[in-house]
Amino acid sequence: MEVEIYRLVFAFIVGYFLTVSGSLTQLVTSNSLASPSTLGMDGFAVIFILIAQVLINFTDIEISLAYLSFALFLIFFIPLCLYKTKSRKNLWDLLHLKNIILLGLAFNLFIGALFSIIQFLFMAFNFEFPTGLWFGNFKQYSPNSLWGGGLIFVCVVFAIKHLAHKIHFLNLGSEFALGNNIDVIRLQRQSLLLSLFLTGVTISFFGVFSFFGLILPHIIRNIPLFSCDMKKELIWGPLLGGASLTLTDQACYFVNVQGVEFPVGMISSVLGALVLIFLLVQSKINRV
């Protein structure tokens, strides 16, 4: 067995993306339990994998599942970016209240219900189910898409550098930020869209990594090196996320059961859930 360099790089980038999106959602909703999975972003992206699988089964499209689902994701994501609601007051009420978690959970439940219907239809039609993407893994990757990943990585770092100062205000409280001439609604919108995009990219290409985006921001916030400085927390902190996903992935690669490799998403979910319980018991997390 040898270390696959591409696999290392992809795991690192994905870990970075997930941590960034987790941090952003928590900071802009001032809610320590917000994350792409609790806000239903995971579910949103998974739906497109299923649609892509249906399309591939019904038609003879010569395109890989990952690219097709990402394309479908973009078709929905771009109008979402362009859509602007007229009533700022309503949007403010929605975002600055801690309602957003409930909204996310409701959306997640809806996706779950939709999901079981689709699963039923897959069984009824005897289609091949894309189980490989349930739990994230880096078994399949195309070296060519590294360029895309690298480009997004650079853009993300620049975007965060631009947003960090404003997020510093928002971290102190949305009312406070609004009073200090920060367009909170726009900032929340931009940040949530950025984390939705990163979640979409990750899930389309590598599958679901639950809990990762929820836990890593808390760990980073408890490390003195990164905490209390928004730029460090958002730019340097996620490097730790990248490193830990890479290590977990390598552990899965080398330690296999009966010759079958564990999907890293499965292991990271278990680890993440345990760490969350530990942090809550230790009161390291600000309760909502």
Partner 1 sequence: MLSNNIAVLVKINKFYVDNREVQGELSLLPGRLTLLRGENGVGKSSLVLYLKLNQRQVFSKLVPRFIDQVRLSPLNDVSFEQILGQLSTDKAQDQTLFTKWEFLVKEFRHKPIKSLSGGQNQMVKILISLYLGGDIFIFDEPLQYLDGTNKSKIVMLLEDLKSTGKGVLLIEHNDELVKAIVDTTVNLSFSGKLEVV
Residue 287 found at the interface with partner 1 (CB under 8 A): no
228 contributes a contact to partner 1 by CB under 8 A: yes
Place of tokens 């007051």: 89
Residue 139 or 284: which CB sits closer to partner 1?
284
Contact of 24 with 255, CB cutoff 8 Å: no
- Residue closer to partner 1 by CB (options 23, 202) is 23
- Nearest approach in angstroms of CB 228 to partner 1 is 4
Q: In three state form, how does the secondary structure of 245-273 look? A: HHHHHHHHHHCCECCECCCHHHHHHHHHH
Q: Work out whether 210 is an interface residue with partner 1 (CB under 8 A).
A: no
Q: How far is the CB of 104 from partner 1 (least distance, A)?
A: 17
Phi, psi of 54 (to 5 degrees): -60, -45
- Cα 173 to Cα 160: distance, rounded to the nearest angstrom: 19
Q: Which is nearer to partner 1, 32 or 37 (CB)?
A: 32
- Is 175 among the residues that bind partner 1 (CB under 8 A)? yes
87: which residues sit within 8 A by CB, 6+ positions away? none
27 sits near partner 1 (criterion: CB under 8 A) = yes
Query: What's the closest the beta carbon of residue 109 comes to partner 1, in angstroms?
Result: 26
Q: Which of 21, 25, 32, 188 forms a contact with partner 1 (CB under 8 A)?
A: 32
179 makes contact with partner 1 (CB under 8 A) = yes
By beta-carbon proximity to partner 1, the closer residue of 139 and 231 is: 231
CB of 175 to partner 1, least distance (A): 4
Distance (Å, whole) CA 257 – CA 266: 14
- Supply the DSSP string of 9-61, one letter for each residue: HHHHHHHHHHHHHHHHHHHHTT-TT--TTTTTHHHHHHHHHHHHHHHHHHS--
If binding is defined by CB under 8 A, does position 168 make contact with partner 1? yes
Task: Among 109, 151, 155, 165, indicate the residue that binds partner 1 (CB under 8 A).
Answer: 165
**191: nearest Cα among 148, 234, 227:** 234
Is residue 276 close enough to count as binding partner 1 by CB under 8 A?
Answer: no
Count the residues of the shown chain that bind partner 1, applying the rule CB under 8 A.
Answer: 26
* Footprint of partner 1 on 77-116 (CB under 8 A): 88-89, 92
Using rule CB under 8 A, residue 150 touches partner 1: no
Query: Is residue 229 part of the contact set for partner 1 (CB under 8 A)?
Result: yes
Nearer to partner 1 (CB atom), residue 148 or residue 173: 173
The piece of 49-57, 60-68, 110-118, 177-185 that touches partner 1 (CB under 8 A) is 177-185
Residue in 90, 80, 87, 99 with CA at minimum distance from that of residue 30: 99
Tell me: does residue 176 bind partner 1 (CB under 8 A).
yes
What's the N-to-C CA distance of the chain in angstroms?
Answer: 46
The residues near 124 (Cβ < 8 Å, ≥ 6 apart) are none
Inter-residue contact 208 to 32 (CB < 8 Å): no
Residues making contact with partner 1 (CB under 8 A): 26-27, 30, 32, 88-89, 92, 165, 168, 171-173, 175-176, 178-181, 221, 227-231, 233, 286
